[in-house]
Chains A and B, each alone.
Chain A
Amino acid sequence: MDDHRQTSLGPDPDLRKEAAELGADPEMIELRAEAAASAREGRLPADQDRRDQELQADAAAAAEQKRQRRYLVKALLRSPTFMIGLIILLFWVFMAIFSTSLTQSYTAQDAMSSLKPPSAAHWFGTDDLGRDVFARMMAGARTVLVIAPLATALALLWGSIIGLVAGFWRGLTDDIIMRGIDVLLALPIIITSILILSLFGKGTAIIILTIGILFTPVVSRTVRAAVIGEREREYVLAARLRGERSSFVMAREILPNIMQPIIVEGTVRLGYAVFTAATLAFLGFGLAPPSPDWGLTIATQRVFLQIAPWTVLFPALALASLVVAINLITDGLGRTFSK
């Protein structure tokens, strides 16, 4: 609706004013934006012959991409944080898939030896029904590794789209979207989830969907805030001056530059997704026994914390190790990218 804004600096007094506010003359802005853009994407300044340049760039870009990718992988492999995180994550992925055939049965009970401390027979002790805590801890990775990433991915996808559209277009679109987001955000998250789960019932897919819906408003707000911060930067102004389509500016110019907050948001939400699923289980919604899910186990075994701390501490450690691993990976990725 306000496409004219993006076509040129000329007819839009607002944009010119913004440029003035930045404390630089338009020419200066152009130059700085071009420099920033070429540094980022390896493109040449716009005022050269484009056709010529693109032909060369195609071949060069392919080679460059290959080279960069190889360099990235090497750099990541050399990053200790990334590698430690990856090893822990892979360990849990492996356990999620194969643990049931490697450990004792995670459902087998021996009520006569319930709440026994760690021993040779039960490395991490037994729980209240005399089940092997080690086996349950290993098998517990499964639900987390299905629910949390899928729910987070859903929330990031929806949230990024909504945040980009609202933050970039502003105006009426932004107003309407943000009103809706405000309503959703104003509802206490726990009430909303209880009500949604009452409506849809239970099951893994429902939990993923619920958490995805719950996290979307928060993600979109964060993305929107980041977009608003970026859309006034020189390179965006320049892209708009060049007359790029808004979807292109959003996806190719702004999105790569707000990846860092999105990745941060993603890892944080991933942790919260684990957490929310556990809280829902704690309150009696979502997962049900005999699932060895960590959150559920912590919720049901916490009454034994004083007399049998191993029933709670090991799943809590598992949960923490997974989150630390995810954070280490993100940390490593972020640092490698920025170099």
Chain B
Amino acid sequence: MASAKFEREYGQHLVEQVLKGKMTRRQLLVRASVFGFSLTAAGQLLAACGGDEDGTEASPSAAGMPEPVLGGHLKWIGPAPITEPDPVTIYDQGGIVLVYQFLEYLIDLNNDNSLRPKLAESWTPNDTVDVWTFKLRSGVTFNDGSPFGAEDVVTTMERVLDPDNGSGALSQLNGVLSPGGIKAVDDLTVEFHLDKPFADFPYMVSSGNYNTAILPRTYKGDIIKNPVGTGPFLLDQYVPKQKATFKKNPTYWGKDEQGRQLPYLDTTEYTMVEDNAAQNLQLQSGAQDLQPQTVFQGAQALFQDPNLRVDIYPGTGIREVAFNIEKEPWSGASGKQLRQAVAYCLDRVAINKALYDGRSNLGFDTFWDPTVFAGSPAVPEERAQDYEKAKALLSEAGMADGMKIKLTFAKYLENPQLAQLIQEQCKPAGITVELDQLSYDAYYAGDDDDYYGTTPWLNAAMSITEWGSRPAPGIYAAAMLLPDAVWSSSHWDNKDFVDTFNQYESTADEGTRMELATKLSQLQQDDTPILVPFFITQLRTQKKNVYGVEGPGSFYCDLSRCFIAQA
């Protein structure tokens, strides 16, 4: 439970926001979750708002779900982990989806990016939003029998913050949390002392920051030999590049609403297949029950298959089309007009149709987009293709005869298609786009002595970078739009934006946050350091008799409530 005083005051505040029409009920639920409200408490808040609208969305598989079947074996398929799946350093889908089976996070993400207590039961900030107190779940043990406690959380966080361990979580926590900032108050209470106020902090210790999976304090970096965690399954067998098998954790703490022991399944087997077309064929042949992440290209065949069900989830992953503000022609006084000109060349509807069969959400070059991030203000302008405007902006910038630009990207996922769409859509405005396709490795590689000054993804004049799901707009902005962000391909340095952003993350007042978010959104869209043409919808494919698979975004696949119904 969050502290009673905070919960009462903040709850009252949220209800007021809804009654004043500044927030929807759905937004209230998301924000309440960030501040550690339990579902019951959030439900009471909704009731206080009056009306009978149900704020929660039924998950696609929940509709007409039969009674769970206990036991059974699930065969699922996805890519192999690129490296040894050490939770401290994993960065790829294969690694993340596997460790998620036997490890847990303090907080999990729901399908709508609201937060769900997992190993943490509740969390509350102080008044200045720079100290967060987490109450941990009691009675949880690791699968080697040792009890879970505050010390495990402290060592896990210190581990990812130590640069020597090479964790990707470090750059996400950069400027927010430093080593020494995590304190065990008692065995089940942990305090996070932040470097600066950060209202979206809970996201950073959720499964959204996948390197923060809670490991036992004794972890030695040997995850495959000693797969010790608190999760619903035990890692049984791991054959690199081939398969991983899991069996149920008999001492798992989780129970369902009827008090039945989780997980329902006895065993699962994950088959590692890199090639998407080959994965799809295995699904169609009936050899596999589940594919946690389905890629849009070629998925039409799965949609048409009578034995399969494809679930569609609103995702938050993007392809960041960045203009490097330090490079010609985007630098200088007229850079902004040129960036906007490119933005007006894009036919976002057509891009969405070509890449995602029209199923993704359109993006308008701002992260604060209410269709994907509940609780965001309306988008300032829903940008559409407008060659008149693009040409006007070009001549305003002294480029009436058009310009030549170069777009750099990795041959990975749908990047090449997106690049070709941009190239073709820019033509009518007189903008010639030269495509510079690199291999995935080359795109992210750089010289040893000057990585940041040489790697294409941070130095190309214009580039496409793929980002997996991020749970909140503030997390995205902190990762790529601030001058001290490690991964800023745009090198954008807008003082107004930085100041506003710091205020935004240091207040828990939703009214103020909303005003600040409106301003941030306007600044981002107007200056257009990056194009965000869409937020990618997620697909998950399973046999028609497979139910209860949960987990949002591309990476997480919670099988604790999964079961296979009798045919």
Contacts and interface: CB of A to CB of B under 8 A. Distances in A.
Touching chains A and B, CB distance < 8 Å: yes
Interface of A: 107-109, 111-112, 114-115, 128-130, 198, 202, 284-285, 288-290, 300, 302-307
Given A129-B421, A303-B277, A288 B416 contact: yes
A47 B428 CA distance: 79
B416 A300 contact: yes
Contacts of B351: 111
Contacts of B39: none
Contacts of A300: 416
B423 A111 contact: no
Given A114-B354, A129-B421, A290-B424, 20 more contacts: A107-B420, A107-B423, A109-B425, A111-B353, A111-B421, A114-B353, A115-B300, A129-B354, A129-B417, A130-B354, A284-B440, A288-B416, A288-B435, A289-B437, A303-B277, A303-B298, A304-B298, A306-B298, A307-B298, A307-B300
B419 interface: yes
Nearest to A308: B300
Contacts of B435: 288-290
A108 B276 CA distance: 27
Contacts of B416: 288-289, 300
A149 B75 CA distance: 48
A284 B274 CA distance: 15
B400 interface: no
Interface of B: 276-277, 297-298, 300-301, 304, 347, 350-351, 353-354, 411, 416-417, 419-421, 423-425, 435, 437, 439-440, 442
A66 to B, nearest CB: 53
A290 B411 CA distance: 12
B464 to A, nearest CB: 12
Contacts of B276: 303
Contacts of A307: 298, 300-301, 304
B439 A128 contact: no
A305 B298 CA distance: 8
Contacts of A108: 424
Contacts of A288: 411, 416, 435, 437
B42 to A, nearest CB: 41
The prevalent SS among residues of A at the interface is loop
A284 B439 contact: yes
Given A114-B353, A303-B276, A290 B420 contact: yes
Contacts of B419: 289
Nearest to A304: B298
Contacts of B297: 128, 303-304
Among A111, A284, A300, A305: residue with most chain B CB under 10 A: A111
Given A128-B297, A130-B354, A107 B424 contact: yes
Nearest to A105: B424
A306 B351 CA distance: 22
12 contacts: A109-B420, A111-B347, A198-B439, A284-B439, A288-B416, A288-B435, A288-B437, A290-B420, A290-B424, A303-B276, A306-B300, A307-B301
Contacts of B439: 198, 284-285
A198 B439 CA distance: 9
A289 B298 CA distance: 19
A112 B353 CA distance: 6
Contacts of A306: 298, 300-301
A325 to B, nearest CB: 30
Contacts of B301: 306-307
A300 B304 CA distance: 21
B423 A302 contact: no
Contacts of B354: 109, 111, 114, 128-130
Top 6 A-B pairs, shortest CB-CB distance:
A303-B298, A111-B350, A288-B437, A111-B354, A306-B301, A284-B411
A286 B425 CA distance: 25
Contacts of A303: 276-277, 297-298
A267 B417 CA distance: 34
